[in-house]
Structure 1
Amino acid sequence: MAHVFLIRLILLLALTLVTHTKDSRLGPRSRLRYSRFLDPSNVMFLRWDFDHEAEVITFELKVRTAGWVGLGVTNRYTNVGGDLVVGGVLPNGNVYFSDQHLVDEYTLEEDGSQDAELQGLTEDAVYTTMRYSRPFRSCDPHDQDISVDTVRVLAAYGQDDTLTLSPEHIFVKSIFLLQMVHPDDLEVPEDTLIHDLEITDFLIPEDDTTYACTFLPLPIVSKKHHIHKFEPKLIYHNETMVHHILVYACGNASALPTGISDCYGADPAFSLCSQVIVGWAVGGMSYQFPDDVGISIGTPLDPQWIRLEIHYSNFHNLQGIYDSSGIRVYYSPRLRKYDMGVLQLGFFTFPIHFIPPGAESYLSYGLCKSEKFEEINGAPVPDIQVFGYLLHTHLAGRALQAVQYRNGKQIKTICKDDSYDFNLQETRDLPKRVVIKAGDDLLVECHYQTLDRDTLTFGGPSTINEMCLIFLFYYPRNNISSCMGYPDIISVAHEMGEEASDPMEGMMAMNNIEWTPENIKKAEKACKEAQQIVVIKTIDEVVENTTGQIPDIVPTPRGPCLESTGGKVEAQDKTPAGFRAAPLTLSSASTASSGGFSLATLLFAQGALSWLFASLQARD
């Protein structure tokens, strides 16, 4: 009887460990912090969260349907090849769940490796809800990576359990899935005040592009306050016409004009003030600063006025549209530890920046050399602690990155997005704060594609022109507002076989070139190898120039993929980056039940039983 009792006890203990391990692999059951509707009719609602250390992300998709639901990732140009995890509940209550991919626009095929872990599938009278986890990067070539880049989330559903794709039920939405900070995680002071920086009843011109600027006072306070959050204030019917909104701090010695006028028109006074303090662009939402930083207002060193710049894109040349958009700021007397600033990097925006037509890929560079920061700042510049960033190009932009160099050696990629989407421009937080020291060089690289264009694209403010800008949010604040570069265009013209004696002639000479693929690459190389003129500007409009050369960028290698703990991984799927074992927070599942024991549990049970049998034999 004792023998039987011991056997039952050890088996019970083993089963308890099996159950515990199975539950732990499914990941946390807590509330998922992030959420977004995926379709215009708000039929598909997505929640998600992630474990950055384990490199595992959890999704919960809730769809107003009694049929199947699907969620995955696709690329910029086509859904073909996109991955789609699908599931549903049959009329008899059984569930189905599978990691699949699109072999053409409307045909799904199951992956050989099942890299999604089902956590739940339910259906009620209104919704079908599917929750699952997957690695950021699996070793299955049919699975798209999830990274800090813009991710194009693919969602689909059916009205019954027949797994058929139909165009009206397929949606793609660009999302920053790996957000590092969420407003719900941050402290909101109880004594928060609100101030709107906005234009009033502005008649939007019928032109394709308008930059409207006005000068407005910041909140008048009797002591120091910190702005800790901002959000766009948009008139609903005009929202798609507002391309971006920027708020520039003005030096207190500036003589500012009144009214609303073209920012870059006949009156140069409306382009005064160049230090961006907050910015919003199309597709963006609100942004709350980390708990230890804020924008200082109310001291003699702080700006009292700002320039509000609103970029309108009236592509349909609509008449009689009035707008009162702007930026709403939240501020409080409860002070944070650091005063923050914004440093603008990139390619100096004017027509010397050119991009050839018909380019599959074309790279532009803007260099910043910080060796003169202390001189132009008028005081020592403490280490710049970067915590966030905003990327900005126009329609031809495909990717951006900012790279840091020290003593001539590349030390870090500060930020990047290899899947940039013009329609989603938000301030993002860095996973870890980056330190920039005096003397460091900063390089911005922008990747463009112009296959749909047959004429040159020049740098400029219009949406059909181009920009190459990255805004770094940092602390503690200094007086430097921007540090941007551009190539010696005369040298570039000569390399292209054209005569030019001044920058204007050099720019115009680009129109004489036949833009073959060979000449496109030749121009890219000439711009990269030409001497860069670096323009450094302060909040008080003091300008200092220096020069430098564009360094090479060493690509960041892809990290190792996560090997599936279930299903099949073909040998050819093992990438040069290598494998690493999947963490216990994730395993594969092709059905609703996550069957299978962990290796540790099986070894424990095997050892325990071996010990038991050995003990029994010794007693016998």
Structure 2
Amino acid sequence: MFPADVVVGWVKQGRIFFQDRHSTGHTEPLVDASQDWFVLHGEENGIGTIIKTIRKLDTKDSDDVMITNGTINVIYAYSDYEPQTEDGKLRHHSQRGYKSLVLLTESDMTMNSHHRPSISQTPLPYITKSPSTEINAQQYCPLGKPTEKYEYQSVIDSDGKYLLFWNVNKTHITFETHVETKGYVGFGLSHNGNMYPADVIIGWVKDGVPYFKDRHTVGHSPPVVDVSQDWHLLYAKEDNCHTVLKMTRKLDTCDNDDFKISDNTVKIIYSFHAEDPADEYNIPYHGMTRGTRSLLLLSKISPPTIPNDSKDIYILNRNFEVLVDKGHETLVHHVLVHKCPGIDRNLIDSPNYVCYDNPDLMKRPCGHIIVVWAVGAEAFYYPEQAGLPIAEPGDNDLFIMETHYNNPQLRSDFVDNSGVRLTVTPTLRRYDAGILEISAFVDKSQVIPPHQPKFVTTGFCPQACMHEGLRREPNGVQVFAVQQHAHLLARGIRTRLIRKGVEQEPLADDAHYDFNYQDFRRVNRTLKDGGFSTTEEMCVSFLFHYPRINAMNCISKPLYDHLQTDSDPKQMYRADLTDMFLHMDWKNSTVVNQFHESLASSTYFMLCGSIFHQYRSNFTNAHNEYPRVRYMAPGDECRT
């Protein structure tokens, strides 16, 4: 293994890490002063990791091996674990070896120089092509670094040609776009993901001169230049294959033609063109190089520094057949990992185990959720002062991963290997963190009436349940993240906090909920004794907090008193009203009003679960849980 000319590379969260190195002993290979190997393509998929590289036969670097037409010993190694950071210590390889090969033929050695591929001298820090797209040397298009350190970044398009970086403070937001084009760049903000109405900018660099205008869209036509120019260009650059624009604006510009940036999910719209416009008034049509991407601009969770003593644990599905909805970009709807006592591992390992089919409730997933993921969510990071406890002393609980698929066409031609990766450290943090689930029962008692322009469904977590969880924390707990989950009918979802009958500022409020983007939302709120409600379809909110409280979930369901034949809540709870709901005349306004009245004054069944797998049930009335004083958001400073 030494002396040798080597490269080390991996792909993590869509980013390529790659370095030219050389070995000098039974130690980690040293990084070469001259980086003469260049990465052309990097991909991590369900099978493994792919790295495609290129270098000169003779780099003139004494740390490199000159490639000739003789036999060369190719050495290799790989590990099941990635380094935690780009400059972090490499894990010792789990497999290694060598193979003697002849890399060149006589015809290779006699190729004319103009047939050889030309390569750039800049390493590739990010994927600039889709993993399914082959990149040859002529197509190699390295990205430059952003002009400053940004807390947030995202790949906006599916081909990796449009990168967005941003920072935000209390009043302003700064964006920086890196787009693989030498023409114009379009960037905008939209309520609904459509190209209009939208707040947009268009910019380009021509002969070293930047052109940039704040605009808005009014239809399927070129955007109109705003009277008030509230987006301000800070920096612009064009190189051999990229255009970079850096711009800033107020979160609320008080301009009716601009988009007010709030904590709602924001639909980023984008476009670009291969050529510059002839002038600022004749913008060529972008064609198919356009799209939309949902993001949380103000409360996205940014990656922290990963401790050097951490390691990864993988919980994966085992190559079983799954049924996948045709047309879904991802096979998986959502994933949960439960931490459960008293379940036989052999039962879970059986291919016949289905999460909720066993009539024995003790053999089902227990509800103590330690991992949650849904469509569009990215990696979740705990704050530096808190961590999720794993393998505590005397802990013999079993982890069960529950995976949901959606497949109305009953296809059976996919195999799924998805799962989760937990990064753990033996260095304990100050606080143990926990996850509290607030939700409505996921069953047929949750009714969304058809033919209604809008409808609010509500789940409660009453004060009595919260008191049981918080009574040992007189100073309350810190809620540092929220994930709100609903399905395709939802248009908005809110997690409301009610303390002693007075509604506080919501923990999370998303009026532009996007089913395909259910990312984790960063918050910073202290939670004391009180109650919760979550509103809008399916109705689930996961509250990440520290110190960990005993409560793990708080679930409710309406009993629809006015539609029942029995007044005993225990009997109403057991009643199945499904057939009644199916045969109600939902086009009849009287019927619809009666349903609304029944729901508004309904008795609710409440179930409170603890991390010790103890459950308490009770009944409450909706009137007892709604606030006496509703929360009023601050007035609009632009209109006062």
Normalising by structure 2, report the TM-score: 0.69
Q: Is the aligned partner of 1:70 residue 2:186?
A: yes
Q: For the residues of structure 2 that align with 1:348 and 1:117, how far apart are their CA atoms? A: 48
Q: Deviations over 1:249-276 (max 9, x none)?
A: 113x455633242222245455231011
Structure 2: unaligned runs, 5 residues or longer: 1-145, 278-282, 566-570
Could you tell me whether the CA contact under 8 Å between 2:335 and 2:373 is conserved in 1? yes
Residue 569 (structure 1) aligns with: none
**Cα offset for 1:98?**
0.8
Task: Specify the alignment match of 1:512 in structure 2.
Answer: 583
User: For 1:502 and 1:248, how far apart are their aligned partners in 2?
Assistant: 26
Residue 274 of structure 1 corresponds to which residue in structure 2? 367
CA contact (8 A) 1:364 1:524 kept: no
Native 8 Å contact 1:102 1:109 kept in 2? yes
Q: Deviations over 1:411-455 (max 9, x none)?
A: 23111211111111122210x232222xx1111111x5xxxxxxx
Query: 1:247 aligns to what?
Result: 337
Q: Which residue of 1 aligns with 2:254?
A: 139
The 2-side partners of 1:64 and 1:372 are apart by 53
Structure 2 counterparts to residues 209-248 of structure 1, below 5 A: 240-248=330-338
Q: Distance in 2 between matches of 1:289 and 1:177?
A: 19
Higher deviation after alignment, 399-408 or 255-264? 255-264
CA distance in 1, matches of 2:503, 2:301: 27
1:134-533 equivalence runs, <5 A: 134-162=249-277, 163-179=283-299, 181-183=301-303, 186-205=304-323, 240-251=330-341, 253-254=342-343, 257-258=347-348, 259-260=350-351, 261-268=353-360, 269-300=362-393, 302=395, 304-373=397-466, 380=472, 383-430=476-523, 432-437=524-529, 440-446=530-536, 448=537, 467-492=538-563, 504-516=575-587, 518=589, 520=592, 523-533=595-605
Does the C-alpha gap of structure 1 residues 512 and 316 become closer, same or farther in structure 2, counting only changes over 3 Å?
A: closer
- CA distance in structure 2 between the aligned counterparts of 1:483 and 1:205, rounded to whole angstroms: 31
Distance in 2, Cα, partners of 1:330 & 1:95: 44
Summarize the Cα distance change of 1:517–1:386 in structure 2 as closer, same or farther, 3 Å threshold.
farther
Q: Deviation digits for residues 516-572 of structure 1, max 9, x if unmatched?
A: 3845565345313322222212231423223132415835435545xxxxxxxxxxx
> Offset at 1:313?
2.2
Taking a change above 3 Å as real, the CA distance of residues 358 and 385 of structure 1, as seen in their structure-2 partners, is same
Residues 492 and 384 (structure 1 numbering): CA distance in 2 closer, same or farther, change over 3 Å? Answer: farther
Letter of the 2:580 counterpart: A
Distance 1:392-1:188 versus aligned 2 partners, 3 A rule: same
Match of 1:527, SS state, is helix
Distance change in 2, residues 1:29/1:201 (3 Å): closer
Partners of 2:573 and 2:375 lie apart in 1 by: 37
Deviations 1:560-617 (A, max 9, x none): 45xxxxxxxxxxxxx53x3xxxxxxxxxxxxxxxxxxxxxxxxxxxxxxxxxxxxxxx
**Counterpart selection for 1:36 from 151, 154, 158:** 154
Structure 1 distance, partners of 2:367, 2:256, is: 46
> 5+ unaligned residues in a row in structure 1: which ranges?
1-27, 210-236, 449-466, 495-499, 562-574, 579-620
| Residue of 88, 113, 128 corresponding to 2:243 | 128
Change (3 A) 1:488 1:267: closer
Preserved contact between residue 560 and residue 598 of structure 2 (Cα < 8 Å): no
Task: Check whether the contact 2:559–2:573 (CA below 8 A) recurs between aligned residues.
Answer: no
Higher fraction of helix? 1
Residue-by-residue CA offset, 1:56-96 (whole Å, 9 max, x unaligned): 11111122222211111012263221111111123x43322
- Name the aligned partner's letter for residue 285 of structure 2: L
SS of alignment partner, residue 112 of structure 1: coil
**1:138-158: per-residue Cα shift (whole Å, max 9, x none)?**
211121122222110011122
Q: Do 2:197 and 2:219's aligned partners in 1 also have CA atoms closer than 8 Å?
A: yes
Structure 1 Cα separation of the partners of residues 572 and 439 of structure 2: 26
State the alpha-carbon separation in 2 of the partners of residues 173 and 417 from structure 1: 16
Separation in structure 1 between the aligned mates of residue 266 and residue 220 of structure 2, nearest angstrom: 19
Find out whether 1:545 has 2:618 as its counterpart: yes
Counterparts of 2:149 and 2:216, CA distance in 1: 28
Distance in 2 between residues matched to 1:89 and 1:372, nearest whole Å: 60
- Counterpart CA distance in 1 for 2:261 and 2:193 is 17
User: Which string of whole-angstrom CA distances, capped at 9 and with x for unpartnered residues, describes residues 169-201 of structure 1?
Assistant: 221111111235411xx2322111211112211
Contact 1:68-1:87 within 8 A present in 2 as well = yes
**Cα gap change, 1:58/1:77 in structure 2, threshold over 3 Å: closer, same or farther?**
closer
Alignment deviations for residues 184-222 of structure 1 (CA, whole Å, 9 cap, x no partner): xx232211121111221111147x69xxxxxxxxxxxxx
Q: Which moved more, 1:401-410 or 1:514-523?
A: 514-523
Work out the percentage of aligned pairs sharing the same amino acid: 27
Q: State the partner residue of 1:105.
A: 220
Q: Distance in 1 between matches of 2:358 and 2:340?
A: 20
Offset of residue 322 of structure 1:
1.9
Aligned equivalent of 1:606: none
**How many residues were matched structurally?**
475
Distance in 2 (alpha carbons) for counterparts of 1:254 and 1:545: 27
Shift of 1:315: 4.6
SS in 2 for 1:182: coil
What residue identity is the alignment partner of 1:557? A
TM-score computed with the length of structure 1 as normaliser = 0.71
2: CA distance between counterparts of 1:373 and 1:153?
A: 38
| Whole-angstrom distance in 1 between the partners of 2:451 and 2:245 | 43
SS of the residue 2:255 aligns to: coil
Which amino acid is the alignment partner of residue 525 of structure 2? R
Distance 1:320 1:353, change over 3 A: same
